[in-house]
Structure 1
């Protein structure tokens, strides 16, 4: 049996890029499966007979290196700091500036830039996804890749565009390799998106996908059970009508569910006149 030829460098890089690997964490490759090197053996020394009288043995001393300070605050402290900062933000501009300066979430150090929002801050309808992807991280805007183009078509189907909606994410920084944000990262970022929703003050809130739905609507049910259902989202000063639907990225992988998504969009379009002031 003829072995398959080894992939070229360009083919290997293309494979890594397709898998979501787009940055190196170190200059040299690390073999995680290699056996750890054994520590050097300590040679036993026997005092020489002509070395003179034996000296009393010294008490063994151990020197400890000072611990390296962790630049990120503890999760509880970071969450408390985020809550306090978000609470004092009087406008979207101030909130964005706070996020630019906020160092409580480790994702900021691995992301290219902050992905705050896009669209009309005075819109009556707000869409919230989970986290930015590679294209969003590059451009600094939410939903600009393939899923963003599909979202544009979805909102155009009910007579809207980005000048009439407001779009954001629960997490404003891209997780490395598009991995799922950890519960701690979500909880640290949660006060900021909650304040963002409060400042936009839309009539309808649309959560895109399971993570943003569970985070913002306080439900543990999956998207198949929550999509198309109306919830009450309480900002503390007002109750906003909220509805969950599929994330555009999921629809790209499972196009058969576009029919259900279209039903959700029709419900949103029907509800918009009812929320008019």
Structure 2
């Protein structure tokens, strides 16, 4: 007869997994990502096909798929079918967008967090709540039906990185063609880059404390780098600069 496991041993194992960064279960049975799917029969692959797969450039594949997306719905579906970025394997949802597609302002964040991954929408956690208050202070609202006061929100990455780590350069490079196509389809008057990751993706530079508040140009449209709301939660003293950037954004919209 098999002995029952000691509850203390089980607790110790769970504590050990938590220390490694496992913050939530995704299923009752662990998935081994290093073996082939047992539900599919292994097929023989010709040498030419193997060489072609090895030579496939994920960024080129992303660029081709993005070009073929004629609408936002097409783009959402295409991104969901893209399988070269492994982040999708550990994510619950693809986080595509929120807000009004006809809005004059498009906000580009970094990557989904835990709450965003659960709900499938960008900026819905504590940082998102702060963002809503910031926008409300200048008369803007993601839920507004009026393009003049509405905003459209998305991220550089549509999937949550493990333990909310920063995206790698390879992950950003793979998603960049989709981001650029996303901007083309929405066609906003002004683009706001929230945080270092979005600045690195679109401007090729980091250092948000130097970049914030200084207008740039991305894809032929004005672009304003700003502190990410998550940064403001950790550094409340920077809210003064964030308020100045919001006023600058409002003034730009009124001038155009």
Q: Per the shorter chain, which TM-score range?
A: 0.7 to 0.9
Q: Cα distance, 1:24 vs. partner? A: 7.6
Write the deviation string for residues 168-217 of structure 1: whole angstroms up to 9, x where unpaired.
Answer: 00000011111111111110011101100111010110000011012112
Residue pairs, 1:94-109, within 5 angstroms: 94-109=74-89
Q: Which runs of 4+ in 1 moved over 2 A?
A: 19-27, 73-76
**Partner residue of 1:52?**
none
Within 1, Cα distance between the matches of 2:55 and 2:224?
A: 30
The structure with the larger Rg is 1
SS of residue matched to 1:141: coil
Q: CA RMSD in A?
A: 2.8
Q: 1:92 to 1:179 in 2, by over 3 A?
A: same
- Kept in 1, the 8 Å contact 2:117–2:159? The answer is yes
CA 1:254 to 1:9, structure 2 compared with 1: closer, same or farther past 3 Å?
farther
Match of 2:38 in 1: none
Name the counterpart of 1:111.
Answer: 91
SS of aligned partner of 1:206: strand
Q: SS of the counterpart of 1:244?
A: strand
Where do 5+ consecutive residues of structure 1 fail to align?
Answer: 1-5, 28-65
Aligned 8 A contact 1:124 1:165 in 2: yes
Deviation at 1:113, TM superposition (A): 0.9
TM-score, structure 2 normalization:
0.79
Question: Unaligned regions of 5+ residues in structure 2, if any?
Answer: 1-7, 31-44, 144-149
Paired position in structure 2 for 1:231:
216
How much has 1:136 moved relative to structure 2? Answer: 0.3
In the alignment, which of 92, 97, 115 is matched to residue 72 of structure 2?
92
2:23 to 11, 21, 24: 21
Tell me the secondary structure at the aligned position of residue 107 of structure 2.
strand
Question: Once the 2 structures are TM-superposed, how far is the Cα of residue 93 of structure 1 from its aligned partner?
Answer: 0.7
8 Å Cα contact 1:75-1:184 kept in structure 2: no
Q: What residue in structure 2 maps to residue 33 of structure 1?
A: none
Deviation, 1:20, is 6.9
Please state whether the residue corresponding to 2:23 is helix, strand or coil.
coil
Structure 1's 151 and 180: CA in aligned 2 closer, same or farther, altered over 3 A? Answer: same
Which 10-residue stretch deviates more, 220-229 or 114-123?
220-229
Contact 1:209–1:245 at 8 Å: present in 2 too? yes
Q: Deviations over 1:139-159 (max 9, x none)?
A: 000000000000000100110
- Aligned-pair CA distance for 1:22: 2.5
The number of equivalent residue pairs is 221
Task: Give the aligned partner of residue 263 of structure 1.
Answer: 244
Task: Go from structure 1 to structure 2 and tell me whether the alpha carbon gap of 1:75 and 1:95 turns closer, same or farther (over 3 Å shift).
Answer: farther
**Distance in structure 1 (CA, Å) of the matches to 2:92 and 2:55:** 22
CA distance in 1, matches of 2:169, 2:105: 27
1:75–1:188 contact (8 Å) kept in structure 2: no
